[in-house]
Amino acid sequence: MLQTGFSDAVLPADGVLAILVPEDGPRPATYLAADRATGGALERAVGAASFTFGAGRTCMLLAPGGGFDRILLVGLGKLAEIGARTVENAAGAAVTALGKLAAAARIAADGVLPALVAHVAQGATLAAFRFDSYHTRLPEDARWRLAEITILTPAAAQAEAAWADLSAVARGVYLARDLVSEPANVLRPPEFATRIEALRELGVAVEILDRDAMAELGFGALLGVAQASDAPPRTVLMRWNGAGDDSAPLAFIGKGVTFDSGGISIKPAAGMEEMKTDMAGAAAVVGLMAALAGRKARVNVVGAVGLVENMLAGNAQRPGDVVRTYSGQTVEVINTDAEGRLVLADVLWYVQERFKPRLMVDLATLTGAIVVGLGHEYAGLFSNDDALAGRLAAAGEETGELLWRMPLSDAYRDALRSDIADFKNVGGRPGGSITAAKFLEHFVNQVPWAHLDIAGTAWARKTVHCTPKGATGFGVRLLERFVRENHEG
């Protein structure tokens, strides 16, 4: 992770410097000092480029004088609109611009309110994520060089204290991104479970259910999905008891299909390699648990992930099969590529029955239909509780991990009726993401619950703000903020 420090807002004598500057109001002292040191180069560049310091915009000065190799000007936008997201995005823009150019840089943040300076570190750190584990060589111009930043601020001590918590969140995001980035031949269910065990070092209790344990419990839906793979399935339960009492926990559940071929209802070959990301919901839950434990959150939390591969073989689950879920309800499997909801069905019911949570939130790359409806900008939010939905949506706005609430009306229930079982696992193409959520609702047993369909937001096709191209870690920051603002005393 990017090495980050804080120091007084004193103009350095040389090196690479980024300056965060609001669009209106007086120029920050560091900007004015740098302009004097360079003989007015900053103001000349701003004038020549008609640079306005709009939010996230950048202007690079090469060898501007004053001993500097580069000075990067980064806009914060209008003062009245500057918040944590603005600051993080600006810092992310700075790191993205400098990442391949220098090993170390300073970011002048004296134009940022003291309470927001730690978010400079957050945005810079998130933007610096790279997954290079399998590169043996890279062209010189493709190598990421930036390893260290120092943030210049009059509030260095305050920022350092705030960064202690935010850095735990960043580490959780990094963990989730690392897991989603791994190839499916490496991160199979047993390996995924082994990596989760590392959370014990943070004080998280980890319990692993193997195939035999799940068979004894009656996880018929999850085991049906896993039966054609030679990699045995796992359900992993994580518990963080930060409240110091026996109060009912919050529960977060993740879909962990480490590779999804579609099974007998096989997917098209084009793009199938992306199905290594079908465990992004589980990765987000693991990252969240790491973040909460890392900052010693004062709340009781349960995380649960169902880990399977959906493969083809002579013993694969067939369209038309009927499975008995842990809840006792039966499901006719119409499409074996609608497997994530079968995994979640058993885990959701088990969590609500065993842990009696105050609420449950599940995350899953569940449907292509949500991508058709919302694209890659918003995740779908479905909930049986208006207050819960509102708090989640608010946390999404604050973190930039945006949610759009979708309907969950009983009008969609009939689409899941089966002639030979309690219901089918698909309801046809119309409203596909809604009927998928409606299916899950059968397994929450009236507990306040929300389902986040993150199929469109788990993987970024291009770098945007603090999210480099690739795995996003979507859900970690959103849910950490939700917990912090609503459930910690």
The catalytic residue positions are 267, 341
- Residue 8 marked as a ligand binder: no
Describe the strand order of the beta sheet including 423-424 as a list of residue ranges.
322-324, 330-332, 423-424
* Cα-to-chain-centroid distance, residue 180: 10
* Burial readout 23-59 (b: 16 or more C-beta within 10 A, e: otherwise): beeebbebbebbbebbeebbeebbeeeebebebbbbb
Q: Please check if 339 is assigned to a binding site.
A: yes
> Is 246 annotated in some ligand binding site?
no
| Residue 419 assigned ligand-binding role | no
Nearest by Cα to 229 from 282, 185, 283: 185
Give the C-alpha separation, 177 to 186, whole Å.
15
3-state DSSP assignment of residue 142: helix
Nearest to 60 by CA among 69, 70, 52: 70
DSSP per residue over 30-70, as a string? Answer: HHHHHHHHTTSHHHHHHHHHT----TT-EEEEEEEETTEEE
Instruction: Report the alpha-carbon distance of residue 463 to residue 470 in Å, rounded.
Output: 8
Contact partners, residue 108, CB within 8 Å, separation at least 6 = 9, 11, 17, 18, 19, 20, 28, 30, 31, 34, 152
- What is the amino acid identity at position 102? A
337 is in an annotated binding site: yes
Going by the annotation, the residues of the binding site for Mn(2+) are 255, 260, 278, 337, 339
Bind-site residues: 255, 260, 278, 337, 339
